[in-house]
């Protein structure tokens, strides 16, 4: 079973943005853009049951769901014998 991967969903001005961490938000937006500093947002401890919202943004935490793939799995290729 794959581990759940956390995703941070930020909604601002009718647009949706997705980040891998709270700190990644600040690589795109300033604290003035979203109306809260990184430290305050970190201390708020966003969770799936506890989104953060102010007059600038709504920030939620969710789980990224992905299909289990076979990429990177090496299969044993069939062995062919050459007539001899």
Tokens of 2: 């794959």
Q: Using one digit for the tens of pLDDT, what is the confidence trace for 11-65?
A: 999 999 999 999 999 999 999 999 999 999 999 999 999 999 999 999 999 998 8
Q: Using one digit for the tens of pLDDT, what is the confidence trace for 38-53?
A: 999 999 999 999 999 9
Q: Are strands 57-64 and 5-12 parallel, antiparallel or unpaired?
A: antiparallel
- Decide: 58 and 52 in contact? Cβ < 8 Å: yes
As to burial, measured by CB atoms within 10 angstroms (0-12 exposed, 13-18 middle, 19+ buried), residue 56 is middle
- Decide: 5 and 68 in contact? Cβ < 8 Å: no
Distance CA 5, CA 15 (A): 22
């Amino acid at each position: 079973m794959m581990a759940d991967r956390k995703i941070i969903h930020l909604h601002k001005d009718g647009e949706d943005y997705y980040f891998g961490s709270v700190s990644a938000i600040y690589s795109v937006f300033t604290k003035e853009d979203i109306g809260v500093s990184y430290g305050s947002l970190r201390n708020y401890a966003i969770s799936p049951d506890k989104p953060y919202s102010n007059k600038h943004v709504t920030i939620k935490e969710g789980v990224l769901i992905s299909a289990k793939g076979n990429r990177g799995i090496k299969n044993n290729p069939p062995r062919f014998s050459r007539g001899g």
